[in-house]
């Protein structure tokens, strides 16, 4: 009997739910560990508070005097809550969060210490930048990088430390994080969308991009997790035969949440509410031991911060309940993977959702502009939309019948699709008659009534309109939402800018405003037929049709990433100041490097498990069968051939799989050596790994999974799928 595996199974019976939080009203403690602007008012002078509020609402520079006052307020608030350390909290390009803790202390001339935290410490810190991904921007011997305070995201206390959200840049000024370009993209779309709103409402002064993410994840028992080296080191199972029952009956979906899981969720939500994360929805997902958590919509910059904070928090809380969280996009073969749907919209400072139909033709014309321009943005940059969500993990998830297809398309729904087709048919470059204008506006005015009955969704669409927002469904569960939000907001902002330029040109030529808007919309609607798709995104027919339309249909992460450096992408990002050429090239290299290193780790772990765990077990069982056959021959020499057919067949099959695994692991190792020793460039080496190393993982797995069915269950070394997926 395998001691490691079965001792892990025995541990399951010891895990009983422990309630870690007393009953509470969320409204009583929501944001109690967050230094909101309202709380800041109690610690600042009236003038300082007014100036800070203006900067947070409208942007601007913070001078040293104001920074000192804000720092003093933060220190007083934090010390009052028992906090002794502070950190600049940022999002480096490794996908995680980072922090360096410093104490609120300063040494006095007499040797004593005092609590100290001033504006200089608040506004800027200097963490070591040498070991964070930089894509060649920094040499390894050049360590200096800077974090700078982001006033748009409030400070918070996490795990006993005051965390100050910041951007992270190189000593030479290039962005080394997700937040810096995200803030630039959000500023860009604010201006572009506000300019469009001025056509309809002069009171609009600001437009805010909002984000509501839906976080999917798996839970696995800690004991079983520790007995699976592949889960510990790679975040996914590199082997494992499908369980006889997994998600076929869909009985886990929206089912009763297991007691132990519910207790974990209670503590997680309690912690999230203290941190100001407005989590609202929780439920079982389709796959066994898969769950989802979703908050209320927030301003996009804050929502990205909250999602990053959630992922680290849920991992910490899970350990309290003897769970481990799996955020990998495809931790188990043969069942649903996990995504992170990004629900995106635009909200004016007058309270209008620009992607929600209004009550009259005027407001609906505004709605149509933002709807069509967003669709056109996906068309213009569909390859880039794919590039911003691909990864080694998401490469395994996308394209299956449980995730959006890897082909980018936009779903609008039949009713909206029909309205756009009608605009295309009725609007022309000639001047419309008064009757034609009236009829068109009346039909546009019916959109709210139509939308009330248009609540269905196309779950096979990677980018779908769902009533008052677009849902970017293809984002991976472990990803930083910032990557997708940078691309989406920049692309839409560009399209809104171009739309206004083209419309203003027609107006200057004497065309009435409404007619000019309809004429430009018609051109966009006609162009967008290429990207609009209402059918089954999983079908073979759609893949063929998408190829005919000229859309990107490849499933390779490495191939998709090249879109970052296409002439169109370069122009998009550099023209509007989101990335410099150097920053863009650096991110391209970093994404390739992360892909390469993760694949390198997976191949090494698989080789180790195959040679040191699986093969010895298979050989041991094979020897048992050989001894059995030999014993039968000694006892029943005349009959052993007829009565040992099953054993002999198993011996031959095990031998074949052992030989195949040995050969394939050697070949995979050699392919890895060739890439490592003969290819210097990161990008070229990542491509070599994708082409020559990646295929071995599935091929080797095939033979190991076959052995799992042949070898005695009592000696199989790793917890099986039926054990991993159905622990409670």
pLDDT tens digits for range 373-384: 999 999 999 999
Low-confidence ranges of the chain (pLDDT < 50): 1, 453, 455
Mark out the alpha helices in 381-480 (DSSP H runs).
Answer: 382-387, 392-397, 414-426, 434-445, 447-452
Pick from 472, 494, 493: nearest CA to 483? 472
CA–CA separation, 157 and 33 (whole Å): 5
Q: Which residue, 206, 209, 183, is CA-closest to 57?
A: 206
Helices 513-527 and 414-426, axial angle in degrees (round to 10): 120
According to DSSP, the residues that pair with 168 across neighbouring strands are 147
Tokens representing 124?
């800027």
Residue 31: half-sphere exposure toward Cβ, Cα within 13 Å: 11
What does DSSP say about strands 470-472 and 113-114: parallel, antiparallel, or unpaired?
Answer: unpaired
Query: For 241, phi and psi rounded to 5 degrees?
Result: -75, 145
pTM: 0.93
Rounded to whole angstroms, the Cα distance separating 556 from 559 reads 5
Q: Report the b/e string of 465-493 with b at 16+ CB within 10 A.
A: bbeebbbbbbbbbbbbbbbbbbbbbbbbb
Give the pLDDT confidence of 228-247 residue by residue, as tens digits.
Answer: 999 999 999 999 999 988 88
Closest to 693 (Cα-Cα) out of 618, 603, 607 = 603
Specify whether the CB–CB gap between 204 and 350 falls below 8 A.
yes
- In this structure, are residues 313 and 271 in contact, taking their beta carbons and an 8 Å threshold? yes
Dist CA 28 CA 35 (whole Å): 15
pLDDT in the model for residue 727: 74
């Amino acid at each position: 009997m395998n001691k490691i595996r079965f001792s892990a199974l025995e541990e399951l019976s010891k895990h009983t739910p422990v309630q870690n939080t007393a009953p509470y009203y969320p409204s009583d403690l929501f944001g109690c560990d967050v230094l909101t602007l309202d709380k800041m008012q109690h610690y600042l002078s009236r003038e300082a508070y007014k100036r800070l509020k203006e900067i947070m609402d409208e942007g601007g520079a913070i001078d040293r005097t104001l920074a000192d006052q804000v720092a003093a307020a933060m220190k007083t608030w934090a010390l009052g809550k028992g906090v002794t350390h502070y950190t600049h909290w940022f999002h480096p390009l490794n996908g995680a969060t980072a922090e360096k803790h410093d104490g609120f202390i300063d040494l006095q001339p007499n040797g004593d210490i005092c609590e100290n935290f001033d504006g200089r410490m608040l506004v800027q810190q200097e963490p070591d930048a040498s070991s964070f991904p930089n894509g060649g921007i920094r040499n390894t011997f050049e360590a200096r990088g800077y974090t700078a305070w982001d006033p748009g995201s409030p400070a918070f206390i996490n795990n006993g430390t005051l965390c100050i959200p910041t951007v992270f840049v190189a000593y030479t000024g290039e962005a080394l994080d997700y937040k810096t370009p995200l803030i630039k993209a959000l500023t860009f779309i604010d201006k572009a969308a506000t300019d469009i709103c001025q056509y309809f409402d002069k009171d609009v002064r600001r437009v805010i991009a909002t984000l509501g993410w839906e976080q999917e994840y798996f839970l696995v028992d800690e004991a079983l997790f520790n007995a699976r080296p592949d889960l510990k080191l790679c975040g996914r199972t590199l082997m494992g035969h499908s369980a006889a029952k997994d998600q076929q009956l869909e009985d886990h979906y929206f089912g009763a949440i297991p007691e132990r899981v519910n207790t974990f969720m209670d503590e997680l939500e309690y912690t999230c509410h203290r941190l100001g994360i407005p989590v609202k929805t929780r439920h079982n997902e389709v796959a066994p031991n898969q769950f989802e958590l979703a908050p209320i919509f927030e301003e996009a910059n804050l929502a990205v911060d909250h999602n990053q904070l959630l992922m680290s928090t849920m991992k910490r809380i899970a350990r309290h309940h003897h769970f481990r969280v799996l955020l990998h996009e495809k931790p188990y073969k043969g069942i649903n993977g996990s995504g992170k749907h990004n629900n995106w919209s635009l909200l004016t400072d007058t309270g209008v959702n620009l992607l929600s139909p209004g009550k009259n033709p005027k407001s609906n014309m505004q709605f149509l502009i933002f709807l069509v321009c967003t669709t056109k943005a996906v068309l213009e940059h569909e390859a880039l939309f794919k590039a911003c969500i691909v990864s080694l993990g998401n490469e395994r998830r996308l394209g299956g019948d449980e995730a959006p297809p890897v082909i980018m398309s936009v779903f609008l729904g039949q009713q909206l699709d029909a309205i756009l087709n009608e605009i295309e048919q009725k609007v022309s470059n000639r001047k419309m008659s008064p009757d034609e204008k009236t009829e068109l506006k009346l039909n546009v005015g019916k959109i709210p009534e139509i939308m009330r009955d248009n609540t269905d969704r196309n779950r096979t669409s990677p980018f779908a309109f769902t009533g008052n927002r677009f849902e970017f469904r293809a984002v991976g569960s472990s990803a930083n939402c910032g990557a997708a939000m940078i691309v989406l907001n920049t692309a839409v902002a560009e399209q809104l800018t171009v739309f206004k330029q083209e419309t203003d040109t027609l107006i200057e030529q004497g065309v009435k405003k409404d007619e000019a808007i309809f004429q430009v919309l018609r051109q966009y609607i006609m162009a967008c037929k290429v990207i609009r798709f209402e059918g089954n995104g999983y079908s073979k027919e759609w893949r063929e049709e998408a190829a005919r339309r000229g859309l990107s249909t490849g499933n390779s992460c490495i191939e998709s990433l090249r879109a970052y450096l296409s002439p169109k992408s370069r122009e998009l990002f550099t023209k509007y100041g989101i990335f410099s050429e150097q920053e863009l090239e650096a991110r391209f290299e970093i994404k390739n490097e992360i892909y390469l290193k993760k694949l390198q780790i997976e191949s090494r772990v698989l080789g180790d498990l195959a040679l040191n765990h699986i093969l010895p077990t298979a050989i041991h069982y094979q020897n048992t069968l050989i001894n059995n056959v030999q014993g039968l021959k000694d006892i029943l020499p005349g009959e052993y051939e007829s009565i040992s057919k099953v054993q002999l067949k198993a011996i031959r099959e095990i031998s074949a799989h052992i030989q195949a695994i040995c050969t394939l692991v050697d070949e995979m190792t050699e392919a890895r050596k060739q890439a490592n020793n003969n290819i210097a460039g990161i990008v070229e080496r990542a491509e070599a790994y994708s082409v020559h190393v990646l295929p071995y993982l599935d091929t080797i797995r095939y033979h190991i999974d076959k052995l799992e069915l042949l070898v005695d269950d009592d000696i199989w070394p790793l917890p099986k799928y039926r054990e991993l997926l159905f622990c409670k």
